[in-house]
C-alpha cells in the first residue's frame, strides 16, 4: 500500500472547506494543515477536521511537513503560492483562475510546465458525472464528428458588488469555467466573439461589467461553440450542455434532489426546483478532482486540467472581454 500524502489546504473560506472535506474523505492523502491569515478561521476549520492551523502559507509550504498543497486563497495569491510550492518540491492543486492578468500567468508558465512535482488547475466541472459521461460518449464516437457545442450556465444569483469589483469581469470570473468546458470538447479555439448586456443588476453595471453574456467561438476544424451566461436564474443553478455531431447529439439536463413529480390541477409533472448551490451541485466533482490528482501523483500521470488549460481559459476570457467592448471577433492562438 502506498504511503499517505500529507496535505495543506490554503484558505479557510467556502472553497477551502470543500477541499478540507475532500482530503478527509479521500484515500491516500491526510490533512495536516489548514492555513488562513485570519487565525480564528484557520483554527475553526482545523478543529473540525482534526488537523493543525497556521496563518503563513509560505511557512507551511516550506516546512518540509507536507507533500501536497491545495490553494483556495484569493486569486492574487495563486501565482506566488504555486511558485513557492514548485520551488519547494510540493505538489500543487490550484483553484481557477490562475490569475486575472495574463502577464502573471505567462511569467510562471515555463516553470509550471517543467515542474518536477504535479501542478493541477481546479476546473472541476470536467469531472462532473454529467459532463464526463458526455465526453466519454463523444470519445466513443456516439455522435460522430463534433460540429456544435452549446453551454448554458446561469448562476442562482449575482455575487455581491464587493466581489464583482475585484472579479476581473464576468468573462474571467464566471465564463472561465465554460471556456474550459468548451475546450474539453474543442481544444483548439481560433476565434472568439462576445456580447454582453445589463439587464437586471445596477451594481454590476456600475462596475462596468455585464449581467448577461453570450460568447461564440470557432474551432480549428470548423466547430462552433456557443456559451450563454446569466448572473441570475429564478429556478436555481442552471447548467447544461449540448454537443451536436454529424451522427447525433448528446445532452445533459439539470439536477434536482429527487425525481419526484407532482401532477395537479394547475400543472402536469411538476418537479422541485434545481439545486441552488454550486458546492452542492458539484460536490462529486470536487471529490473526484482530488482523487484524480492523488492518482496522477501515484502513477506519474496527469489527469487534471494543466497549467496551460488554465492559461487558455484566461486567454479566451481576455478575448471575450475585448470583443464585447469592440464588437469585433478576435482571432486567438492558444499554442
Report the alpha-carbon distance of residue 168 to residue 210 in Å, rounded: 11
Using rule CB under 8 A, residue 254 touches a second copy: yes
Using rule CB under 8 A, residue 284 touches a second copy: no
Indicate which single residue of 4, 208, 251, 277 sits in contact with a second copy (rule: CB under 8 A).
251
The dihedral over CA atoms of 112, 87, 79, 294, expressed in degrees to the nearest 10, equals 70
Using rule CB under 8 A, residue 322 touches a second copy: no
Report the alpha-carbon distance of residue 107 to residue 71 in Å, rounded: 19
Using rule CB under 8 A, residue 223 touches a second copy: yes
In the complex with a second copy, the residue whose CB is nearer, 25 or 56, is 25
Q: Burial, 24: exposed, middle or buried (Cβ in 10 Å; 0-12, 13-18, 19+)?
A: middle
The span of 42-50, 72-80, 106-114, 197-205 binding a second copy (CB under 8 A) equals 197-205
Using rule CB under 8 A, residue 3 touches a second copy: no
By DSSP bridging, strand 330-331 and strand 68-71 are unpaired
DSSP sequence for 172-221:
HHTHHHHHHHHHHH---EEEEEEEEE--S-HHHHHTT--SEEEEEEEETT
The span of 179-187, 248-256, 291-299, 300-308 binding a second copy (CB under 8 A) equals 248-256
CB of 319 to a second copy, least distance (A): 12
Indicate which single residue of 261, 277, 280, 325 sits in contact with a second copy (rule: CB under 8 A).
261
The span of 35-43, 69-77, 106-114, 136-144 binding a second copy (CB under 8 A) equals 136-144
Report the alpha-carbon distance of residue 43 to residue 51 in Å, rounded: 9
Cβ(9)–Cβ(70) under 8 Å?
A: yes
Indicate which single residue of 3, 114, 258, 333 sits in contact with a second copy (rule: CB under 8 A).
258
Using rule CB under 8 A, residue 145 touches a second copy: yes
Amino acid at each position: 500500500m502506498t504511503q499517505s500524502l500529507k496535505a495543506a489546504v490554503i484558505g479557510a473560506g467556502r472553497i477551502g472547506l470543500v477541499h478540507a472535506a475532500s482530503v478527509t474523505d479521500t484515500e491516500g492523502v491526510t490533512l495536516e494543515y489548514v492555513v488562513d491569515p485570519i487565525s480564528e478561521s484557520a483554527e475553526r476549520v482545523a478543529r473540525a477536521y482534526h488537523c493543525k492551523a497556521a496563518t503563513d502559507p509560505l511557512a507551511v509550504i516550506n516546512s518540509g511537513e507536507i507533500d501536497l498543497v491545495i490553494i483556495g486563497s484569493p486569486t492574487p495569491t495563486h501565482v506566488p503560492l504555486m511558485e513557492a510550492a514548485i520551488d519547494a518540491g510540493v505538489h500543487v492543486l490550484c483553484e481557477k483562475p490562475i490569475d486575472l492578468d495574463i502577464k502573471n500567468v505567462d511569467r510562471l508558465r515555463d516553470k509550471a510546465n517543467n515542474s518536477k512535482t504535479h501542478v493541477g488547475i481546479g476546473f472541476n466541472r470536467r469531472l462532473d458525472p454529467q459532463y464526463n459521461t458526455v465526453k466519454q460518449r463523444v470519445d466513443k464516437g456516439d455522435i460522430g464528428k463534433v460540429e456544435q457545442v452549446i453551454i448554458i450556465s446561469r448562476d442562482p444569483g449575482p455575487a455581491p458588488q464587493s466581489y464583482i469589483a475585484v472579479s476581473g469581469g464576468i468573462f474571467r470570473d464566471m465564463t472561465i469555467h465554460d471556456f474550459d468546458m468548451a475546450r474539453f470538447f474543442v481544444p483548439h479555439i481560433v476565434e472568439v466573439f462576445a456580447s454582453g448586456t445589463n439587464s437586471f443588476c445596477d451594481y454590476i453595471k456600475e462596475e462596468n461589467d455585464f449581467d448577461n453574456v453570450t460568447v461564440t467561438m470557432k474551432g480549428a476544424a470548423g466547430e462552433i461553440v456557443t456559451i450563454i451566461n446569466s448572473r441570475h436564474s429564478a429556478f436555481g443553478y442552471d447548467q447544461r450542455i449540448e454537443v451536436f455531431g454529424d451522427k447525433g447529439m448528446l445532452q445533459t439536463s439539470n439536477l434536482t434532489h429527487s425525481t419526484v413529480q407532482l401532477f395537479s390541477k394547475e400543472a402536469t409533472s411538476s418537479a422541485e426546483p434545481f439545486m441552488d448551490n454550486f458546492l452542492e451541485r458539484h460536490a462529486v466533482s470536487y471529490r473526484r478532482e482530488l482523487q484524480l490528482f492523488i492518482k496522477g501523483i501515484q502513477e506519474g500521470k496527469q489527469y487534471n486540467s494543466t497549467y496551460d488549460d488554465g492559461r487558455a481559459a484566461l486567454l479566451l476570457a481576455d478575448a471575450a472581454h475585448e470583443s464585447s467592448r469592440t464588437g469585433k471577433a478576435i482571432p486567438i492562438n492558444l499554442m
